[in-house]
Amino acid sequence: MRKLTVNQINTGTHEGRYLTAALSKLMELYPSETPEAILNHLHDTAEHIYDGQPLIGEDDMFKLVKTRSGQFRWKRIAPNSRTVGGATEPYHNRTDCLDNARRNGVPPYMIEE
């Protein structure tokens, strides 16, 4: 995975403007960090997810649920039983729902049905 530098982000392109805004927000949240340190952390995080090892809490659960209307959703459930994430829309078939969960970093083997 290619590492980004601050100069590559400030390109003026559509993508560059979004990345610049995101980096600016992160710098507000972490004022003691340099832009390069933030980019390195983001790269390491993305590389971790890219390697198929999503950053998931050890005790989080993922459930595939069927709604009353017969559609499917996936939910991420924290150890305190609260739903902390999931599909933003229902899916008509199970496979599409599982594909959405996978695209969001959830390994298929972690989903309970």
In the chain, pLDDT over 70 holds for what percent of residues?
Answer: 65
| Mean pLDDT of the chain, nearest integer | 75
Q: 54-59 — which CB contacts under 8 Å span 24+ positions?
A: 54/105, 54/106, 54/107, 55/105, 56/105, 56/106, 56/110
pLDDT, tens only, 30-43: 788 887 877 776 66
Cα 27 to Cα 89: distance, rounded to the nearest angstrom: 32
Quickly state the pLDDT bin for 46 (edges 50, 70, 90).
low
At 35, list the tokens.
Answer: 């832009």
Task: Give the per-residue pLDDT at 27.
Answer: 79
Which is more confidently placed, 12 or 42?
42
Domain spans, the chain:
6-50, 61-112
pLDDT, tens only, 67-92: 999 999 999 888 888 888 888 899 99
pTM of structure: 0.49
Residue 99 has pLDDT above 70, yes or no: yes
Quickly state the pLDDT bin for 1 (edges 50, 70, 90).
very low
Q: Topology of domain 61-112, per CATH?
A: Double Stranded RNA Binding Domain (3.30.160)
Residue 4 has pLDDT above 60, yes or no: no
